[in-house]
């Protein structure tokens, strides 16, 4: 059986970011990983002062804090190549930012240099919603920015020139909770209002709908983009076809609420539970492995295979 050790050389947990606004629902939409040739960063939002922050993943320091929205920033998204950042806000707008990697002089302190990862001003400010922006997708390859809102609409703009393309309305007019899009131009909308998934083409054609059988906290794509991976309050991970939304595999888990999920390049699932456990699933081997990581950094944890 495989053995995973959690030794004394692990990175200590860090508290990052500033205090959250009271009306923010913290979730995956509040964070995005941005990879650059020099360094990797975490983009976080939901801060009370209406900013989003750029945090170095190597040392945990806040590299940049950007405040341009007129209300709390509610969600962020980064393109696959890490060149563009999109932010959505309670002010009902979407802002699109260029990702830089330069050093600029600190105006307040002479002869000091500071990192500037995100351009100081957005190159697009996109409108079209009447309520809070809840989810985002941005792609250079598809030349698209897709935004979902609490008003039940999903709005498409071109990335290059910010031109409005079309809008979709949730079938039951429920507030949109999550939005996933593939590089093949398939879009899936999910709402906690009707607990259903709705599949559309990038041209706005409705293809399929399916009930989720419970609240979903995580909706992710497989690396190939052909499968949708969902998890939530039921404690299951459900794999669906991105073409039809049909269920192709279920992983029953251990009955704990799953709050976070990622699909690794090796096509494994890493799922975090509400009680702090980490579940590791192999797609090739349906048998799941569980690690409940101890708070003691010297403790070693064995994962049964």
- 114 and 21 together in one domain: yes
- 156 and 192 together in one domain: no
* Structural domain boundaries enclosing 222: 185-198+214-305
- 37 and 165 together in one domain: yes
Beta pairing, strands 258-263 & 247-251: unpaired
Task: Give the predicted TM-score (pTM) of the model.
Answer: 0.82
Distance CA 217, CA 231 (A): 6
- 144 and 283 together in one domain: no
- 39 and 144 together in one domain: yes
Give a yes or no: residue 38 inside a domain. Answer: yes
Give a yes or no: residue 219 inside a domain. Answer: yes
- 117 and 26 together in one domain: yes
pLDDT score recorded for residue 69: 96
- 233 and 149 together in one domain: no
Distance CA 281, CA 294 (A): 20
> Number of C-alpha atoms within 13 angstroms, CB side, residue 241?
9
Give a yes or no: residue 4 inside a domain. Answer: no
Give a yes or no: residue 203 inside a domain. Answer: no
How many other β-carbons are positioned within 10 Å of the β-carbon of residue 100?
16
User: Across 151-294, where does the E strand assignment appear?
Assistant: 153-158, 164-169, 178-181, 186-191, 196-201, 206-211, 216-221, 227-232, 237-241, 247-251, 258-263, 268-273, 278-282, 288-291
- 69 and 115 together in one domain: yes
Give a yes or no: residue 111 inside a domain. Answer: yes
- 45 and 89 together in one domain: yes
Contact 189, 151 (CB under 8 A): no
- 162 and 220 together in one domain: no
Task: Domain count for the chain, please give it.
Answer: 2
Distance CA 153, CA 175 (A): 8
- What CATH number is attached to the domain comprising 291? 2.130.10.10
One digit per residue, the tens of pLDDT, for the chain of length 305 reads: 333 434 444 555 666 656 777 777 778 898 999 988 778 999 999 988 999 999 998 888 888 999 999 999 999 999 999 999 999 999 999 999 999 865 544 444 333 345 678 999 999 999 999 999 999 999 999 999 999 999 999 999 999 999 999 999 999 999 999 999 999 899 999 999 999 999 999 999 999 999 998 899 999 998 888 999 999 998 889 999 999 999 999 988 777 899 999 888 877 888 888 888 888 887 654 433 333 333 333 333 323 33
Question: Does residue 28 sit in helix, strand or coil?
Answer: helix
Give a yes or no: residue 207 inside a domain. Answer: no
Beta pairing, strands 288-291 & 153-158: unpaired
pLDDT score recorded for residue 15: 67
Distance CA 109, CA 162 (A): 37
Give a yes or no: residue 50 inside a domain. Answer: yes
Tokens 């259903």, residue located: 196
pLDDT score recorded for residue 126: 98
Distance CA 229, CA 42 (A): 23
Helix runs in 155-204, H state only? none
- 142 and 236 together in one domain: no
Distance of CA 290 to the CA centre of its chain: 23
Tokens 């497989």, residue located: 222
Give a yes or no: residue 209 inside a domain. Answer: no
Which structure tokens are listed for 201?
């083409």
Question: Does residue 239 sit in helix, strand or coil?
Answer: strand
- 299 and 273 together in one domain: yes
pLDDT score recorded for residue 285: 43
Contact 1, 294 (CB under 8 A): no
């Amino acid at each position: 059986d495989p053995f995973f050790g959690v030794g004394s050389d692990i990175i200590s947990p860090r508290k990052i970011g500033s205090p959250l606004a009271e009306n923010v629902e913290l979730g995956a939409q509040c964070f995005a990983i941005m990879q650059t040739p020099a360094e990797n960063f975490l983009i976080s939002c939901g801060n009370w002062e209406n900013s989003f922050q750029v945090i170095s993943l190597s040392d945990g320091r806040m590299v940049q804090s950007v405040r341009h929205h007129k209300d709390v920033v509610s969600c962020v998204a980064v393109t696959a190549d890490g060149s563009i950042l999109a932010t959505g806000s309670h002010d009902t707008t979407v802002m699109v930012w260029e990702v830089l990697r330069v050093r600029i002089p600190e105006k307040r302190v002479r002869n000091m240099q500071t990192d500037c990862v995100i351009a100081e001003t957005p190159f697009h400010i996109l409108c079209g919603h009447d309520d809070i922006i809840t989810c985002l997708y941005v792609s250079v390859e598809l030349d698209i920015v897709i935004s979902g809102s609490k008003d039940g609409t999903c709005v498409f703009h071109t990335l290059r020139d910010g031109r409005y393309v079309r809008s979709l309305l949730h079938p039951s007019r429920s507030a949109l909770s999550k939005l996933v899009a593939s590089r093949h131009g398939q879009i899936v909308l999910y709402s906690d209002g009707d607990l259903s998934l709705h599949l559309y083409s990038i041209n706005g054609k409705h293809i399929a709908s399916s009930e989720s059988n419970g609240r979903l906290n995580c909706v992710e794509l497989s690396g190939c983009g052909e499968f949708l991976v969902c998890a939530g309050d039921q404690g299951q991970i459900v794999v669906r076809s991105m073409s039809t939304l049909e269920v192709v595999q279920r992983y029953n888990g251990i009955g704990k609420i799953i709050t976070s999920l990622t699909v690794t390049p090796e096509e494994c699932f890493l799922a975090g539970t509400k009680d702090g456990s980490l579940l590791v699933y192999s797609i090739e081997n349906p048998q799941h492995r569980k690690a409940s990581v101890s708070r003691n950094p010297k403790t070693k944890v064995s994962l049964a295979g």
